[in-house]
Amino acid sequence: MKQRSFRWLLLSLAIVGFVGDQASKYGVFRWLYNDGFGDAREVVPGWFRLLAQFDPTRPASTCPLVTWGGEIPPRVNYGALFGLGGEHQGLANGFFAVVSALAAVAILIWGLRATTARDGWLSAALGLILGGTLGNFYDRVVFQGVRDFLHFYYIDWPVFNIADCCLVVGAIMLLIQAFFMAEPEAQPRVAATPADAATSAAPAPTDVPK
């Protein structure tokens, strides 16, 4: 019997995550461009807002993928999550771009294996991680850094994006599987005793005609 494959789930979530991340970034930064000064829109007053920031000190670009939201490029995060390593700017962005590319390839290889494809939970987790990885990788290549616009400012949480959400949710799903969904260990097979072997080797009794 052919076993069910969840490759479609992995690839679907990766595509949805990537498209959702890029659509939200382009949409919010274009909407809140405000002549390059940027703007914010309250979503949950006092807690959460959409924040678009732009950087007039960055070199202007002629690439339509960059200028679609406005002539002044957006302010970007050169480092990893929470701005880790961002102080090195171009060097950090190049390093994390390479890491993202390698991670995407590794996730694809892992996710498309037959044993992985049979696990729906694992396929979903890897699909979310792949979508988030590709979303931020695109930003690093096109914008030379990652665009962030989601801001929980009540606790002064670092600004983040949809790709980051996909990465965090996917990572949490992997942890849940590792600690709470592990398959039970196979029971050791008991070796047959000499008596069992003799019994199994003895010929079956036959009926003697009367």
Q: Which residue among 39, 164, 196, 207 is the active-site one? A: 164
Residue 205 burial class via C-beta count within 10 angstroms: exposed 0-12, middle 13-18, buried 19 and up: exposed
How far is 51 from 53, CA to CA, in rounded Å? 7
Q: Which residue among 148, 156, 196, 207 is the active-site one? A: 148
Contact criterion met (CB below 8 Å) for 128 and 17: yes
Q: Strand 76-77 to strand 146-147: parallel, antiparallel, or no bridges (unpaired)?
A: antiparallel
Known catalytic membership, residue 207? no
Residues known to be catalytic? 148, 164
